[in-house]
Structure 1
């Protein structure tokens, strides 16, 4: 597989010693004997960097979690809370972080065997929560997320040494191809693409509303798209997307009448705990990047 050949002479990057290159680490660290995924499913996940599971949670659970999202978005005690991120233009709630601390049902979900056993299997070890959040994308007004790799940010700003982390995104509304559903580049997780530019102080305060620093160059994105193509997470409420921390992904604006909301659970291996950030002066706050590495049980 060919890789992009950007160097520090081409543009400033947040990782001055890094070029876009194949990963040195596997995507799947466990085996079929370690959890619910069978051998074929693990092979698919290794190749593509993501797995979609429909009917992952029940309609009753979807209703419960949707109620929790509505409660969090309208809770007056959370106004001004640093865990709540609002839309840059409209001021509506865009994301709420550290939701396991704000919702008992979501806290229980992080330990549900359907979730936890898969996270342990994919990462081949005990795991802890690196980050949790809910993303709201209301009809007509929802703004998207530009192309990025989560690991690039978690490496640069949080200090994760390796891409030994996995996200589980659970749809609480139907994810159509046209209401801002998550786009992914299959196989792109095998290439590390550094972001462009220096990391400003407290970059998270702006980047969580609209990320402009720490994203790849258009040349790097176009190169990956030519090699990998673009797929999309679609499916009914209750579906789940498991995706590698280094996969290139994005979502477009939602100008349809159909809202889209998802709950994200990010698991990191206890053998991959953060060190000092690789391209930032200080780590992001604990509600965005946990510093409690207690294994989930």
Structure 2
């Protein structure tokens, strides 16, 4: 579902709407460490559980920055397409900075840059908001932050900002997965209280390996098999082999819900829940695909000790130091 129906609240409250969970942040963080509601990589056989968290954490739809039809669609399907939030000039500026980062040899050598296993092409640059002040201002734009705050029912911070590139001719596929499964097991994210916003910076069409989603799959938590090796992130960011759902469970979900491709022209925003199963095909056509990703996490849901008892991943992959709520800064 696509729409440009965005409402900017003139009163600019800190968080729009009333949260369904009114406990304090400290109470929430303490509560979420008592029992692991979302175990994974602990069993010999794959299994799944019903989601135990709301999809939308705010109740007051009258204060929502999106209209009710869009919120209903997001709650049911786990994703939305939003158009025309940014002007053509704003998108053009994002594209210029994106290309500068991709072409910068110094950036390519940094640990925040992930390259394709075979070609050496950059496929992701993490922590882009720290590498470029403009991307920090985009992440803090009230048009994005207010949506995230409403859905998550809390102030938010950036858990994982990045640029994703899928080069032409040899861009690799990325298998089905739930982001939350990884963030929970490897980063210590307690609840399904995070979301991603992907801003398309090139055409995303059916031929160049667009994001594929299984609508409605966010209501099911797929527990995966296999132990997490040390420093799994060094390989999983190029090709994920641990923390991937069982083929039969994926087939059952696809038979129930189908698959939708997140296609669109530059400037479309793909908003999706942290537990939505998604992946992408390889890209063998000349046209590349590039997207700017911001993962917003509720302040009350900040990461702690990994639930998989693994070493914490680097700060540029999972923010855990000096966590502060995002300001809402209007781009100029």
* Fold-level similarity (TM above 0.5): yes
The TM-score range, normalised by the shorter chain, is: over 0.9
Within the candidate set 166, 179, 190, 1:150 is matched to 179
Where structure 1 has 5 or more consecutive residues not aligned to the other structure, the ranges are 1-12
Any idea what SS the aligned residue of 1:202 has? Answer: coil
Does residue 24 (structure 1) correspond to residue 56 (structure 2)? The answer is no
CA contact (8 A) 1:169 1:240 kept: yes
Does residue 256 (structure 1) correspond to residue 256 (structure 2)? The answer is no
Q: In structure 2, what is the Cα distance between the partners aligned to 1:51 and 1:255?
A: 27
Any idea what SS the aligned residue of 1:20 has? Answer: strand
Q: In structure 1, what is the Cα distance between the partners aligned to 2:181 and 2:298?
A: 17
- Residue 126 of structure 1 corresponds to 155
Does residue 39 (structure 1) correspond to residue 68 (structure 2)? The answer is yes
Does residue 196 (structure 1) correspond to residue 225 (structure 2)? The answer is yes
CA contact (8 A) 2:168 2:284 kept: yes
Using structure 2 for the length normalisation, give the TM-score: 0.83
Within the candidate set 321, 324, 327, 1:294 is matched to 324
* Residue 32 of structure 1, CA deviation: 2.3
Any idea what SS the aligned residue of 2:149 has? Answer: helix
* Residue 170 of structure 1, CA deviation: 0.5
- Residue 25 of structure 2 corresponds to none
Calculate the aligned-residue CA RMSD, in Å. 1.6
* Residue 77 of structure 1, CA deviation: 2.1
Give the number of aligned pairs.
286
- Residue 14 of structure 1 corresponds to 41
- Residue 106 of structure 2 corresponds to 77
Using structure 1 for the length normalisation, give the TM-score: 0.93
Moved more, 15-24 or 192-201: 15-24
- Residue 66 of structure 1 corresponds to 95
Where structure 2 has 5 or more consecutive residues not aligned to the other structure, the ranges are 1-39, 328-332
CA contact (8 A) 2:43 2:225 kept: no
* Residue 280 of structure 1, CA deviation: 4.1
Q: In structure 1, what is the Cα distance between the partners aligned to 2:177 and 2:288?
A: 23
Within the candidate set 136, 147, 151, 2:165 is matched to 136
Closer/same/farther in 2, CA of residues 207 and 222 from structure 1, 3 Å limit:
same
Per-residue CA shift, 1:114-136, capped at 9, x if unaligned? 10111101101100100001100
Q: In structure 2, what is the Cα distance between the partners aligned to 1:94 and 1:280?
A: 28
